[in-house]
Amino acid sequence: MDAQLFIKAYNLIKSANNILVATHEHPDGDAVASAAALAEILELAGKKYELYCHDRINYPLNFLPHLDEFKTNYENFNFDLIIVLDCSVVERTKLDKEILGRRPNQLVLEIDHHPKIKSYADLEIRDSAAAATTEILYYFLKANKIRINKNLANCLLAGILTDTGNFLYPSTSPQTINIASEMLAKGARLPQIMENTWRNKSIASMKAWGKALSNLKINKIYNFAYTILEPEDVPLEMAEEELEGLAGFLSNLDRVNGLMILRELPEGIIKGNLRTAKPNVDISKLARALGGGGHAKAAGFTVTGSLQKTENGWTIV
């Protein structure tokens, strides 16, 4: 990527007095790690900032730095710089009214590895070939000659591991492996990251995974696998990130063109996760047709309604 873009972004940060760092609702590991890494960068630069996420962060507070600083609300929106991470759709921040209706002296910086859907930032740094947003932040650090300490190393490695399924997903590149190796050399704690992202499943989440497996079917016309999770299949107390990895795990299914997980959320929203391991299939096209987006091999969407089982299968009403 163009190093000048990273330098321009850092100049925006250095000239700002009050910064908001935000990521998407239901944050995954890369979203949380990216925001934590940005907080570390801002703290090192002596900047005043706030961390925002619409949903509560459920990772243990000793997992990454700055997790205790996340807020689900703010007193006022008087920030002169808003940095949005890992979010190509501004509505997923739940700050879309504030961001789209911002004052002329309020700037927005977007850093993301998802394909572009609609512009909303004054400065956009995007690389859809990157395995994770934290991978892009690595190049930001390098371009601006910011020393990578242990906190940053942990954040960058955590984001890469969670968004590549521990290097199993097709998004993993030689550069991804090299960055991860460098983060280990700089003090990243791989066992702790694994303990808190991969070996963190509760009995409730394991039962939800089991339900998804038992509901798994294949549409033989399109050679496409799908499974359904109804509200009662996912306990309300179960954290969103406890379901992370389910789509990646099911994408190991042999000889199918793709996979879809449909999950009905309590608020009348149906969330769809799409995956494929086929080199000639772009699953994001289906996601975009359904109002969502994502990568060629991993995408998603949401629609309003509820799932209803019929004699001929499932329908959305």
- Give the domain ranges of the chain: 3-197, 203-316
Q: Tens digits of per-residue pLDDT, 19-40?
A: 999 999 989 999 999 999 999 9
CATH number of 3-197: 3.90.1640.10
Q: Is the pLDDT of residue 236 over 80?
A: no
State phi, psi for 235 to the nearest 5 degrees: -55, 140
pLDDT tens track for 105-160: 999 999 999 988 889 999 999 999 999 999 999 999 999 999 999 999 999 999 99
Beta-carbon-side half-sphere exposure of residue 76 (alpha carbons within 13 Å)? 4
Q: Mean pLDDT, the chain, as a whole number?
A: 91
Tens digit of each residue's pLDDT (9 = 90 or more) over 251-266: 878 889 999 999 988 7
Q: Cα-atom radius of gyration of the chain, to the nearest Å?
A: 19
CATH fold for domain 203-316: Diaminopimelate Epimerase; Chain A, domain 1 (3.10.310)
Query: Which of 92, 103, 156 lies closest to 294 in space, CA to CA?
Result: 92
Neighbour-count burial of 182, counting CB atoms closer than 10 A to its CB (0-12 exposed, 13-18 middle, 19+ buried)? middle
Q: State percent of the chain over pLDDT 70.
A: 97
Rounded Cα distance between 86 and 290, Å, is 20
Count of CA atoms in the C-beta half-sphere (13 A) of 63: 23
Q: What amino acid occupies position 291?
A: G
Q: What is this structure's pTM? A: 0.86
**How many Å apart are CA 313 and CA 288, to the nearest integer?**
23
- Collect all residues with Cβ–Cβ distance below 8 Å to 232 and sequence separation of at least 6: none
Higher pLDDT, 169 or 238: 169
